[in-house]
Chain A
Amino acid sequence: MSDPQALDTFSGADAADLATTETGERQRKPRSLWGDAWIQLRRKPMFYISGVIIVVVALMAAVPDLFTSRPADFNNLDFASQPPSASAWFGYSFQGYDIWARAVHGARATLLVGIFATLITVLIGSLMGIIAGFYGRFVDAFLSRFGDIFAGLPFVLGAIVILTTFNPPGSEPSGTAILVQVILSISVLSWPVSMRIMRSATIVAKQLDYVKAARALGASTRRIIFRHMLPNTVAPVLVYATIALGAFIAVEATLAYLGIGVRPPVVSWGVMINDGKDYVQNSPHELLFPAGLVTITVLAFVMLGDAVRDALDPKSR
Chain B
Amino acid sequence: MAEAILEVRDLVKHFPVRVGVLFKRTVGHVKAVDGVSFELRRGETLGIVGESGCGKSTLAQVLMRLEPPTSGTASFEGKDMFALRGAELRRLRRNVQIVLQDPYTSLNPRMTVGDIIGEPFEIHPEVAPKGSREGEVRELLNVVGLNPEHINRYPHQFSGGQRQRIGIARALALRPKVIICDEPVSALDVSIQAQVMNLLGELQRDLGLSYVFIAHDLSVVRHLSDRVAVMYLGKVVEIGTEEEIYGQPSHPYTQALLSAVPVPDPLLRGRREVIRLAGDVPSPVDPPSGCRFRTRCWKAQDVCAEEEPELITRVAGHPSACHFAEAHVVVGAERENS
Contacts and interface: CB of A to CB of B under 8 A. Distances in A.
B170 A213 contact: yes
Contacts of A220: 123
A218 B159 contact: no
Given A27-B152, A32-B112, A141-B22, A209 B105 contact: yes
A232 interface: yes
Given A13-B159, A15-B156, A27-B151, A213 B109 contact: no
Contacts of A12: 156-159
Interface stretch (B90-98, B304-312, B322-330): B90-98
Interface stretch (B113-121, B199-207, B266-274, B283-291): B113-121
A312 to B, nearest CB: 7
A19 interface: yes
Nearest to A317: B154
Interface residues of A, number: 40
B110 A314 contact: yes
A216 B93 contact: yes
A314 B108 contact: no
A27 B149 contact: yes
Contacts of A216: 64, 66, 93, 97-98
B7 interface: no
B107 interface: yes
Interface in A1-36: 9, 12-13, 15-16, 19, 23, 26-27, 29-33, 36
A139 to B, nearest CB: 12
B248 interface: no
A42 interface: no
Contacts of A315: 109, 154, 156
A210 B109 CA distance: 9
A226 to B, nearest CB: 12
A156 interface: no
Nearest to A312: B110
B149 A32 contact: no
A214 interface: yes
Q: Is the interface of A mostly helix, strand, loop or mixed?
A: helix
Interface residues of B, number: 44
Contacts of A312: 110
Given A12-B159, A218-B90, A210 B152 contact: no
Interface in A295-317: 312-315
Interface string A141-152: 110010000000
A23 B21 contact: no
B263 interface: no
Given A212-B98, A213-B98, A232-B109, 18 more contacts: A9-B159, A12-B156, A15-B157, A16-B157, A31-B112, A36-B112, A141-B21, A141-B22, A208-B105, A210-B106, A212-B100, A216-B66, A223-B122, A223-B123, A227-B119, A313-B109, A314-B156, A315-B156
30 contacts: A9-B159, A12-B158, A19-B153, A27-B150, A27-B152, A30-B112, A30-B115, A30-B134, A31-B152, A32-B112, A32-B115, A33-B111, A33-B115, A142-B22, A208-B105, A209-B100, A209-B101, A210-B105, A213-B100, A216-B64, A216-B93, A217-B120, A217-B170, A218-B90, A218-B124, A223-B123, A228-B108, A312-B110, A314-B154, A314-B156
Interface of A: 9, 12-13, 15-16, 19, 23, 26-27, 29-33, 36, 137, 141-142, 145, 208-210, 212-220, 223, 227-228, 231-232, 312-315
